[in-house]
Structure 1
Amino acid sequence: MVIAGLDIATATGVCFGKPGQTPEFFTRDLGKGQTHDLRFSNVMRLTHELIDQHDVEFIGIEAPIINPRRDDKAKITLLHGLVACVRGWAHLRGVEARVFEIPTIDKNFLGAPSRGGRDARKWANHKQCQVRGWSPKTDDEADAGAVWDYACASQSRAYAIHTTPLFSRSNGTLPKSEGEKS
């Protein structure tokens, strides 16, 4: 099963692959400064690409962070709209897409809910990706990697058990899946 993890924003971080294998990363610019409608259509194109070109069968999405003191109605509409477009397109194609809350993702990927704010969380996600031998180029991609890891754990019992501290290798790397070279 190919799983994707998304950190959705105007610059959307993407991570995808099969559980237990080294995932692939990229960032998609949805159109900074462009209309909401254009960005909605671009995120639907991205979802279409993941399903049709990369055979994604499950999509995990990081829940939008909403700060009422900072975010205006337009930004809130955009963030929720982007997530809704991914979920709607995936549903049309018979692919499950699920939104995961950040504290849950952090507990799974980092071992505990992140403390220290946005920058500390992004740094911790990037470091954890490096420990696992993954190569995200941006913080958005590293965040998508954390989402992908939790999505894999939610869809694959074998992946979930091998990524828990009790059963994982002491150096933080994941066991190789069948067919993957050591």
Structure 2
Amino acid sequence: MRRVIVTEFLTLDGVYEEISPWRAGFTPDDGPFKRDELFGSEALLLGRVTYDGFAAYWPTATGAFAERMNSLPKYVATTRSDLEWNATPLGADVIGAVHGLKRQEGGTLLVYGSGTLVQTLLRHGLVDELRVMVFPMVLGRGRRLFAEGDTLQLTLKDSRDLGSGVLLLIYTPDAAPHLVPLLD
């Protein structure tokens, strides 16, 4: 059975959305972590917005990280049929498709960013590990990973100081989540 591992950049107040260049000025030493994470995965599971951004950048990037990023199969939360960059749409039933992927033999499905997809996966108990890079910034506005009323019990498995005040926190969900349903 495959595992779904999520990795998110968050502010202290839980904002994941790139509404400003809030990560600029921070230089965490996350290279080894990100490299090990990518090379330890068998496929990427991406939301449509993240896929569009990645597909615009990575195919022309160079180096070992880019080669690995480009070679991995990508599963995208969309019904679009015009995907390129080694990508397959998950279709209208994203939850069913991810359940199917998890039942397959194989390695880790890695989710980068993709906040709305992550919220959906968490709401359906499909996340096996949540890796959060917390940046020492409070924005006071922007899309947050968790909505008011969400509850989710987590167990801290590891933590690291990545420098620049950025902390890596690695959690596993303990039980079925109680998360507010998405409105969109």
- Tell me which protein shows more helix as a share of its residues: 1
TM-score (norm 1): 0.30
TM-score (norm 2): 0.30
- Tell me which protein shows more strand as a share of its residues: 2
